[in-house]
Every structure is written in C-alpha cells, then in structure tokens.
Amino acid sequence: MSREYPDRPFVGVGAVVMREGRVLLARRGKEPRKGSWSLPGGAQRLGETVFDAAKREIREETGLEIEVLGLIDVVDSIQRDDHGDVRYQYTLVDVLAQTINGDIAAAGDDAAEVAWFSPDELEPLELWEETTRIIGLGYEMWTILQASSSSSPSS
C-alpha cells in the first residue's frame, strides 16, 4: 500500500532521544515534510512492538542504540490535498529514550542529517507544532526521571 493516498493510517514511532540535556533531531530526507527537522523515527513493522520499532528506527537513521524510558504521547498527523482528500495519515507513537552507546550520530536511511539541539536552539528550526509539544513533554519527563534517579531515599 502506498503511503500517499492510503486506505488506512500508518503507525509510526518517533523518539525524543536525550543526552546531557540535548535532544536528537533528524532533517527529513523524504516526504512528508521533506527538508524539515523532526524527531527521528519511522514506520512500525508487522510483528514488531512500538518500543522495538523505535530502537530499530533510531539505529537505522542515526547509528545510535537507545533505551526506551517510556511513552510520551500519541499524535495523529493527517495531511489533505487541495481537494480535501487524505494525502498522508500517520498515527505517531512518541517515546522518550536515551542513548546507550554515546552521542556520535550519523544520518542514514530516511534522514538527510542528524544533530543534537539544546532547548534554546529549537525555535529557529520552525518545527511542526506537535513536534515542539512532544519535545516539551519529553523534557519534562526527562527532568523528572533525572531528579528521581539522583535522589537517594531518606533514612
């Protein structure tokens, strides 16, 4: 089935990959949104869990291995053509992850470029509003997880 003008939505996974307070983004090499920065990720395969799909896609697009820390949110992306017909429809499952093999990322597969960004570097990228929202939620989760892992139980 073609991804353009599909007869059903595609399930995709995206990952907010964190490393030392920075988030990994990929410049899309294909439509939809070709040329724009987004979360790395891609389509879930038959027989694959969402978390396994996220791990595979990040490996394919960046060369990095990740540990998935949890679910952030689910986003519906529906793009219509000038006639109102659905040109693309994705159900995007976004997860929070951290790298487990360093921070040297190299573009591969569908990514034209990959790079790490701090929160103050995101605005000029003109990200899709849902990507910005998901990254914000990811930062909140990351901060909570970091605080809880660095605190020790009281006696």
Residue with tokens 């040297």: 104
Establish whether 113 is a catalytic residue: yes
Tell me the residue type at 126: E
114 - beta bridge partners?
Answer: 26
Are the CB atoms for 49 and 71 separated by under 8 Å? no
Q: Where are the beta strands (DSSP E) in the chain?
A: 10-19, 22-28, 37-38, 41-43, 66-80, 86-99, 111-117
Which of 48, 60, 113, 130 is catalytic? The answer is 113
The pair phi, psi for residue 140, each rounded to 5°, is -60, -50
Catalytic residue annotation? 113
